[in-house]
Amino acid sequence: MKLAYLEKIPQAQTALRATGERVTEPRVAVLATLLSSDHAMSHLDVAAMIAKRHTIDRVTVYRVLDWLVGVGIAHRIAGDDRVWRFMLNAQAGAQAAGKTNAHHAPSHAHAHFTCNTCGQTFCLDKVQPKMNVKLPTGFSTTEVDLKIRGLCAECK
Amino acid sequence: MKLAYLEKIPQAQTALRATGERVTEPRVAVLATLLSSDHAMSHLDVAAMIAKRHTIDRVTVYRVLDWLVGVGIAHRIAGDDRVWRFMLNAQAGAQAAGKTNAHHAPSHAHAHFTCNTCGQTFCLDKVQPKMNVKLPTGFSTTEVDLKIRGLCAECK
DNA sequence: CCCTTTTTGCGACTCAATTGCATCTGCGGC
DNA sequence: GCCGCAGATGCAATTGAGTCGCAAAAAGGG
């Protein structure tokens, strides 16, 4: 766990280069941090993790995180505590960012799980929240978020 | 629309008395406001609406709103703008609050719709987000929230 | 190696929401 | 109908996430 972050740096650099955008130190650090985590992280989680080895400004973390969302590498999740959490997209390991505008696929659907006890949020990628939702007439859907709360395996 | 708020006052008083808790002017005003709305309201929406006729402190609105959630009359919805919005529970009209602790029914499921254009959030009560979610082993569910984004009938 | 374009860092700022405390009030009891 | 007090309100100050403007510092193409 301690070293996971360092190990992910080359992978992060490769993924960033694939975007065609600038590969900067803060971007590498933030992406490597997300790559080393199995759960969604707040901007503060990310900043604290990076701060163990480098100095980085909180504002930069915000901006890089938003940028990662913009280029389609990560996505943001609204928490119950009014804090955004970030997580890599399923296939974001390396290729993902290849296409020019992976911005937001239409009818994008996501499922997340938040533990009531430890507060950690996980992404349920395998779950396609296929539901029988009948919207009122005249309404159309562009995006669906499914949030599940409960107890995770650790806290049970 | 203008008078809806006033018309709801008696109904609000009745519902509040049914809780066995104190029936205060701010509580009546806040509940009447929610009763007169068909969409979720932020604390500011509520405060502004009430301020047309009475004076009320912002903090009191926060507290009353939280209290309404606590006694099971309303529920809160996390918006994409980090603002809480509040809406009455489906059957909250009058009886709802009768039972001592209607706090949170286990396996409570909700579906909300937020319009990308006008920003209004509606509650889709009829929709039972029945989905085939397979959680990782060891995980258990207590609550499910389904958030749908798109265009409402007005904005389409 | 230089120049242009982007990013970064920093400070100040916004704004929803919370907290502490003094004052007021609903309402059960008398 | 009046009293007392637990509980609710108002006000001021505070917290904390996220944003903005701008000057200084890279990144990467030529």
Strands A108-115 and A121-123, by their bridges, are: antiparallel
Give the tens place of pLDDT for each residue, A76-91.
999 999 999 999 998 6
Q: Check residue B101 and report its DSSP letter.
A: T
Alpha carbons A71 and A37: distance in angstroms, whole number: 20
Strand arrangement, sheet containing A74-78 = A41-42, A84-88, A74-78
Q: Which of B82, B113, B135 sits opposite A139 (nearest CB)?
A: B113
For residue B18, list its beta bridge partners: none
Give the tens place of pLDDT for each residue, A65-76.
999 999 999 999
Alpha carbons B91 and B134: distance in angstroms, whole number: 30
pLDDT along chain B (156 residues), means of 10: 82 95 97 96 96 95 97 94 94 43 52 93 75 81 91 91
Say if residues A96 and A72 touch (Cβ distance below 8 Å): yes
Q: Is A79 near chain B, with CB under 8 Å? A: yes
Single pTM value for the model: 0.86
pLDDT higher than threshold 80 for residue A20: yes
pLDDT higher than threshold 80 for residue A152: yes
Q: Return the exposure string of A51-71: e unless at least 16 CB atoms fall within 10 Å of the residue's CB, then b.
A: eeeeebeeebbeebbebbbeb
Total length of chain B: 156
Cβ-Cβ contacts under 8 Å for B61 (sequence gap 6 or more): B26, B30, B43, B46, B47, B50
CB-defined contacts A:B, below 8 A: 126
Instruction: Categorize the per-residue pLDDT at A134 as very low, low, confident or very high, splitting at 50, 70 and 90.
Output: confident
Q: Closest nucleotide to B60's CA, by C1' atom?
A: D9
Say if residues B42 and B36 touch (Cβ distance below 8 Å): no
Asked if the Cβ–Cβ distance from B133 to A146 is below 8 Å, we say yes
How close is the nearest chain A Cα to the Cα of B110, in Å?
A: 10
